[in-house]
Chains A and B, each alone.
Chain A
Amino acid sequence: MRTIPRAMARVLAALAACTSSVAAVRGAAPAGGRAILVERSLAGAEAAAARAAAAAAGSIRGRVEVRRTIVLSERRPNPADLGGGRRLEAPDHGRSVVYLESGPRPAFDQREPARAVMDQRNETFVPHVLAIMAGTTVDFPNSDRIYHNVFSLSKPGPFDLGRYAAGRSKSVRFDRPGIIRVFCDIHSHMSAFILVFGHPYFTMTDGDGRYRLDNVPSGAYTIVAWNEGTTSEPAPVTVASGGTTEMDLLIR
């Protein structure tokens, strides 16, 4: 009996799984026709290519150390206030975004619509930093009992959602990569960042600054960490197929 190579077996298995799932999704279409077979074949080929790419991918992990003083957000000292202000919840300024400065070419074509949420709670944007891929729609629900007015004047995606009350939400789709600085027109101490990437090779650090970037196609890249508007020195990194590369980054 001829032995099928293990990688090929995985691709075939993936293909089978993919075609059956495609068939399930498209079950409403007339079955048995030639068009369906072609569709199945194409979908299977795409999936196979993706699986093959994944098989040739590796990971990058490490820790981001932020040495500079993190600037806290605080109310403007407004002596005209009569007082009575609420205590503010401190946003999480410690988390950083780690990303590849450039990604493999096909990655830029993957623009599947996605959704993300940036909440407004206790006069704070939660999360304080959101990293998304271009084409993502971000919902901005108002979970406070007061009005908010989310806006941005950032060039990649200026918007103004107007004032809206608790329980309501408005959305913005971000199609252009860049850094979006988000503010509230009513509460000047409210601010947040949305980092929009043209490829999917980015991640957020955890509370200890640790990160892990998976499914990076093997190759040589430049990796960068970002925190509150400051970036690390770009670092060259090589990802080997199936391997994990260690890379610590420093933000001064």
Chain B
Amino acid sequence: MVADWLGPHGGPIMLAGGRVTLGGDISSSVAPEDTGFFNYTDYDHSTLRTLRLALSASVKAGAHLALLTEIRSENGDPPEPYALYLRFRPWVDRRIDIQAGRVPPTFGAFARRTYPSENPLIGYPLAYQYLTSLRPDALPASVDELLAMRGRGWLSSFSLGNLAPEHGVPVANVFRWDTGVQVHAENDRVAATVSATTGTLSDPGGLAPRGAPQLAGRAAFHPLPGLVLGASASRGSFVSTSALAAVPGGRPAGDFAQTAWGGDVEYSAGYYLVRAETVISRWRLPIAQPSPASLPLAAAAAAVEGRYRLRPGLYAAGRIDRLAFSEVNGSALRESWDAPVTRWEAGVGYSIDRNLLVKVEYQHNVRDGGRVRRLSLTAAQLVFWF
């Protein structure tokens, strides 16, 4: 059995008398070519066609201080520190932590369970993965230019700022963590987190200099066992200073912010688990023509997912997901600034061993725009974790 290799508890690996703990996630996903780029996280990577190696570590330096990190490599890319931060607990007996460095996402619920072993399906919710046409380093000169990029978030280009074609950003990006300071406190009923970071929800940890830092907060309530109600909010400068420099009549970067609100609920009992999450985001961009009144741009995403355990080691899961965009006035017509997407996924997961999981799913995507408007995909994933 695989777990025997990891010792009697199936991991994690402990070193230095328990001061160093190592865990890992290895996953391999296979699927046919996603010709509509529905599952891509940039121009090269699709969540359905990924080999991911992730090694996480916790190094404790006494009862108050720990260093946490995760080194990740995807599809053979050089390993990168996905997470790297210090966790300081001022009072050992109080559940209050201060974290500094490349910290986990404050906003939302799915953002912190992206590990394949925690995601019942293979695909990600649209809010956290689907690439819109917006870019922090490039700006459309007009609404028409923005509309021309509908459904082309995997490779969008605009005439102001960085002229090179690049992928756009999702509503909330979980493929890169942000850098900053985070404070978390919780008791048995309530958990609260606030953070100040350099990026924004769509573009965390971006290297491009921009205005004010992002402020984010989340509160989660546990009124009953198995029930979690969460609310999140964030606001931070979205447009980079280099892109703004290309805009006539320059304005401060802080004026062009991404503001987001989120709500999530999870309920579980017996053999089933149900989750729902919504994210609403608004971006203010310096687009002058033809009608500034149609700004800010807004996007709203909602996903509902469920999982049911059929027998020991075997479950069935499904997710329905919708991402919609606000309408803007182009010179010829009024339509949503990006193409709305609907996705549904259904699949099963089977644990061959406690640490070895195989998933198979069917996914169907519908988009109101772009080159490919409907696409069905079947995917399989093998996950090993410790």
Residues of A within 8 A of B (CB): 71-87, 145-147, 151-153, 158-160, 162-166, 181, 183, 189, 191, 193, 228-229
The 3 A-B pairs at the shortest CB distance, nearest first, are namely A83-B97, A77-B58, A79-B83
User: Complex: how many Å from CA A180 to CA B186?
Assistant: 35
Stretch of B139-147, B152-160, B263-271, B276-284 lying at the A interface: B263-271
Give per-residue flags for B244-282: 1 if the beta carbon is below 8 A from chain A beta carbons, else 0: 000000000000000000000000111101000000000
Q: How far is the CA of A183 from the CA of B69 in the complex (A)?
A: 26
Please encode chain B, from 174 to 190, with 1 for each CB lying within 8 Å of some chain A CB and 0 for all others: 00000000101110100
Residue pair A153, B353 in contact (C-beta under 8 Å): yes
Q: Provide the bound-state CA to CA distance between A153 and B87, in Å.
A: 35
A78 to chain B, nearest CB (A): 7
The answer to whether B96 touches A75, judged by C-beta atoms less than 8 angstroms apart, is no
Sample 16 A-B pairs with CB under 8 A, ordered by A number: A72-B18, A77-B21, A77-B58, A78-B56, A79-B82, A80-B114, A83-B95, A83-B97, A84-B184, A146-B188, A153-B354, A163-B270, A163-B273, A181-B10, A191-B8, A229-B4
A84 touches B97 (CB 8 A): yes
Asked if B87 and A83 sit within 8 Å, CB to CB, the answer is yes
B115:A80 contact, CB within 8 angstroms: yes
Q: In the complex the two chains form, what is the Cα distance from A152 to B10 in whole Å? A: 12
In the bound complex, do residue A82 and residue B182 qualify as a contact, i.e. CB atoms below 8 Å apart?
Answer: yes
Chain B residues with a Cβ under 8 A of chain A: 3-4, 7-12, 14, 18, 21-23, 56-58, 68-70, 82-83, 85, 87, 89, 92, 95-97, 99, 104, 106, 111-115, 182, 184-186, 188, 191, 193, 225-226, 268-271, 273, 309, 311-313, 351, 353-354, 386
Q: Are B8 and A193 neighbours in the complex by a CB distance under 8 Å?
A: yes
Residues of B within 8 A of A79 (CB): 56, 68-70, 82-83, 85, 104
Residues on the B chain within 8 Å of A81, using CB: 104, 112
Evaluate contact between B225 and A145: CB separation under 8 angstroms: yes
At the interface, is chain A mostly helix, strand, loop or mixed?
Answer: loop
**Looking at B23, B92, B113, which has the most chain A CB atoms within 10 Å of its CB?**
B23
CA distance A147 to B21 in the complex (A): 25
Pairwise interchain contact B184-A162, C-beta atoms closer than 8 A? no
Least CB separation from B118: chain A residue: A80
B-chain residues with CB within 8 Å of residue A193 when the two chains form the complex:
8
Contacts of B351 in A (CB 8 A): 153
Expressed in whole angstroms, the Cα–Cα distance for A86 and B353 within the complex equals: 28
Question: What chain A residues lie within 8 Å of B14 (beta carbons)?
Answer: 71-72, 74
Partner of A77, one of B68, B186, B269, B312: B68
B3 close to A181 (CB less than 8 A)? yes
* Chain B residues, CB < 8 A from A162: 269-271, 309
Say yes or no: B9 contacts A191, CB within 8 Å.
Answer: yes
Chain B's closest residue to A167 (CB) is B225
Q: Report which of A74, A80, A84, A163 forms a contact with B112, defined as CB distance below 8 A.
A: A80
CA–CA, A81 and B70, complex, Å:
12
How far in angstroms is the closest Cβ of chain A from B347? 18
Asked whether A82 and B193 contact (CB < 8 A) given A71-B7, A160-B312, A165-B226, the answer is: yes
Point out which of A78, A146, A183, A191 has the most chain B C-beta atoms below 10 A from its C-beta: A78
Q: A72-B14, A77-B22, A78-B56 are in contact. Are A151 and B225 (CB under 8 A)?
A: no
- Give Cα A221–Cα B320 distance, bound, in whole angstroms: 61
Q: Are A76 and B269 in contact (CB under 8 A)?
A: no
Cβ–Cβ contact A229 & B113, under 8 A? no
CB distance from B89 to the nearest CB of A (A): 8
Also in contact, A76 and B3, with CB within 8 A (given A82-B182, A83-B97): no
The smallest beta-carbon distance between A151 and chain B, in angstroms, is 6
Bound complex: CA of A81 vs CA of B3, how far in Å?
24
In angstroms, Cα B12 to Cα A81, docked, is 16
Whether A83 lies near B23 (C-beta < 8 A) is no
Provide the residues of chain A in CB contact with B193, threshold 8 Å: 82
In the complex, what residues of B have CB within 8 A of residue A71's CB? Answer: 7-9, 14
Q: How far is the CA of A160 from the CA of B271 in the complex (A)?
A: 9
State A191–B354 Cα separation when bound (angstroms).
11
On whether the beta carbons of B7 and A76 are closer than 8 Å, the reply is no
Which of B82, B111, B191 sits near A84, CB closer than 8 Å?
B191
Known: A75-B21, A153-B354. 12 other contacts (CB 8 A): A71-B14, A76-B21, A77-B57, A77-B58, A79-B82, A83-B87, A83-B184, A153-B351, A153-B353, A160-B309, A183-B10, A183-B354
Closest approach, in angstroms, between the C-beta of B111 and any C-beta of chain A? 8
The distance in angstroms between the C-alpha atoms of A243 and B43, with both chains bound, is 78
Question: Bound state CA distance, A234 and B56, in angstroms?
Answer: 39
Indicate if the CB atoms of B226 and A147 lie closer than 8 Å.
yes
Residue of B21, B69, B182 with highest tally of chain A CB at under 10 A: B21
B8 touches A228 (CB 8 A): yes
Residue in A84, A163, A191 whose CB lies within 8 Å of B95: A84
Once A71-B9, A80-B114, A153-B351 are accepted as A-B contacts, the answer to whether A146 and B270 lie under 8 Å apart by CB is: no
| Min CB–CB distance B141 → chain A (angstroms) | 39
Q: For A83, what are the chain B residues with a Cβ–Cβ distance below 8 Å?
A: 87, 89, 95-97, 99, 184
Closest B residue to A186 by beta carbon equals B268
